[in-house]
Amino acid sequence: MLTIQSLREDKEQIAAALDKRNIDVRQDLDQILLWDAERRSTQAKLDDLLAQSNALSREIGTFMREGKREEAEAVKVKTASFKEETVTLKDKMHGIEQQMHDVLCAIPNAPHSDVVAGRNAEDNVEVFRSGSAETLDRHTKPHWELAEEMDLIDFELGAKVTGAGFPFYKGKGAKLQRGLIQFFLQKADEAGYTEYIPPLMINAESGFGTGQLPDKEGQMYHMQNDELYMIPTGEVPLTNIYRDEMVKEGDLPIKLCGYTPCFRREAGSYGKDVRGLNRLHQFDKVEIVQLSRPNDSYALLDQMVDHIKELLEGLELPYRILRLCGGDMGFTAAMTYDFEVWSAAQERWLEVSSVSNFETYQASRLKCRYKGAEGKMHLVHTLNGSALALPRIVAALLENHQDENGIQMPKALAPFCGFDRIEA
């Protein structure tokens, strides 16, 4: 969340940045600052009261040790009024803090100055394009047809065993899946990311730390008997490794990666856009995460973008990179680049990666800090990106690399799959 300190310093600048998300938070910010002032004066009163009452208690202790019971009893009488007032002030503090927290949690991150204002995906800015996004000059089949013909993916079986959006991968389809994961992890390893295999369920604290809770409660599968949530992305367990931790400045940037299945309820999704692999309840993803010093984070964001470019080039897929506009960015991000690959048969762009810098927004919830050389504590910046999400990559591979009687695997990928062609 936004830090109270940044609001004190830069209220209008933050409000102006949030205008780009088409929300006006000025009233909220003013209210927060009023509460902040009230909180401070209440704290001062409370501390003073506690100091006095501590002094009395010490007096009582001294008398008791010296066996002066009567004197001790006399002082005890004096403490009664303090007690009542401290309880009142403590309640007041808690009330104020709770209100501030609730309002603060409901405010999304302030976009970076390079982020443009905009209403939705149409206002996103294309910053890079590779390959041509054209229909192949012959008939192309959509991936769901290819997958069925070549017996790679069974959607109906998944629907039977679990439900829609939970496909089975089969034979070369399964091997392709595994090959892609291995390819992505290998590249992440070469780029210096430490691999983790994290838990696939998280508790509420972790959900709050990265910002899924309370904002997106309905998007996660919730195990109510155990108060656990299925992860919607590897970002959650990976980033939460550093919740409530102080890291050494010299260890930054910290680079982690991990392969995980991801689970999303996708409530309300239906229709053409969700056909085949386009939108699933369970899908595989390799995630890369970084923790950095504030001054380095945008350079690292660029590095992550380059890393993902390399992956897509290895897969020989046409793609483009968009810098999201304010209205299309996720709640917690300060800047986001989306990667989209061209689907030759569906003739549309499919999002396969989203790379973001959260600046201190997650870190303030996570309480992840480092001590600077000058001895002061600072929140780290957190970043993450998909590198990459599998299903739409599979869709694009099938569609873009199909020929008369099969699908040709990109050279870079073939060794990881164990075959270079798929044929019916």
Partner RNA sequence: GGAGAGGUGGCCGAGUGGCUUAAGGCGCACGCUUGGAAAGCGUGUUUACCUGAAAGGGUAACCCGGGUUCGAAUCCCGGUCUCUCCA
Least distance to RNA, CB of residue 107, Å = 18
Q: In what order do the strands lie in the sheet with 201-202?
A: 201-202, 228-230, 222-223
| 16, 23, 33, 50: which one binds RNA (CB under 7 A) | 50
Residue 76 in the binding site for RNA (CB under 7 A): yes
Residue 58 in the binding site for RNA (CB under 7 A): yes
Those residues whose C-beta lies under 8 Å from the C-beta of residue 24, and which sit 6 or more positions away, are: 15, 18
Judged by beta carbon, residue 338 or residue 359, the one nearer RNA is 359
| 12, 80, 84, 132: which one binds RNA (CB under 7 A) | 80
Q: Which of these segments, 77-85, 149-157, 164-172, 316-324, binds RNA (CB under 7 A)?
A: 77-85
**Distance of alpha carbon 320 from alpha carbon 128, whole angstroms:** 5
Judged by beta carbon, residue 41 or residue 405, the one nearer RNA is 41
| 34, 164, 223, 246: which one binds RNA (CB under 7 A) | 246
* Cβ proximity of 286 and 257 under 8 Å: yes
| 33, 56, 117, 274: which one binds RNA (CB under 7 A) | 56
Residue 44 in the binding site for RNA (CB under 7 A): yes
Other Cβ atoms less than 10 A from the Cβ of 171: the count is 12
Judged by beta carbon, residue 5 or residue 88, the one nearer RNA is 5
Residue 201 in the binding site for RNA (CB under 7 A): no
Q: Which of these segments, 74-82, 334-342, 344-352, 396-404, binds RNA (CB under 7 A)?
A: 74-82
Residue 373 in the binding site for RNA (CB under 7 A): no
Residue 285 in the binding site for RNA (CB under 7 A): no
Q: Which of these segments, 57-65, 294-302, 321-329, 342-350, binds RNA (CB under 7 A)?
A: 57-65
| 9, 24, 30, 64: which one binds RNA (CB under 7 A) | 64
Q: Which of these segments, 58-66, 114-122, 209-217, 257-265, binds RNA (CB under 7 A)?
A: 58-66
Residue 369 in the binding site for RNA (CB under 7 A): yes
Residue 366 in the binding site for RNA (CB under 7 A): no
| 46, 117, 247, 414: which one binds RNA (CB under 7 A) | 46
Site string for RNA, 4-23 (x = CB under 7 A): -x------------------
Residue 411 in the binding site for RNA (CB under 7 A): no
**Distance of alpha carbon 138 from alpha carbon 147, whole angstroms:** 19
The DSSP bridge pattern shows strands 402-403 and 406-408 to be: antiparallel
Other Cβ atoms less than 10 A from the Cβ of 97: the count is 14
Nearest by Cα to 258 from 336, 216, 199, 337: 199
**Distance of alpha carbon 362 from alpha carbon 29, whole angstroms:** 19
- Whole-Å CA distances, 232 to 171, 304, 338, 353: 26, 21, 17, 14
Cα-Cα-Cα-Cα dihedral sign, residues 249, 253, 259, 265: positive
Supply 263's token pair. Answer: 């689970």
10 Å CB burial of residue 401 (0-12, 13-18, 19+) is: buried
Residue position matching structure tokens 């504030």 = 294
Residue 99 in the binding site for RNA (CB under 7 A): no
| 6, 57, 182, 408: which one binds RNA (CB under 7 A) | 57
For 306-323, the three-class secondary structure string (H helix, E strand, C coil) is HHHHHHHHHCCCCEEEEE
| 22, 66, 74, 83: which one binds RNA (CB under 7 A) | 83
Supply 269's token pair. Answer: 């999704």
| 13, 27, 34, 61: which one binds RNA (CB under 7 A) | 61
Judged by beta carbon, residue 28 or residue 97, the one nearer RNA is 97
| CA dihedral angle for residue 182, residue 280, residue 235, residue 226, rounded to 10 degrees | -120
Least distance to RNA, CB of residue 290, Å = 22
Least distance to RNA, CB of residue 157, Å = 33
Site string for RNA, 24-43 (x = CB under 7 A): ----------------xx-x
- Whole-Å CA distances, 135 to 281, 287, 402: 29, 30, 12
Least distance to RNA, CB of residue 44, Å = 4
Tell me the site size for RNA, rule CB under 7 A.
28
Q: In what order do the strands lie in the sheet with 254-263?
A: 125-130, 319-323, 335-343, 348-359, 381-389, 282-292, 254-263, 194-196
Residue 65 in the binding site for RNA (CB under 7 A): yes
**List of residues contacting RNA (CB under 7 A):** 5, 40-41, 43-44, 46-48, 50-51, 53-54, 56-58, 60-61, 64-65, 72, 76, 79-80, 83, 246, 369, 371, 377
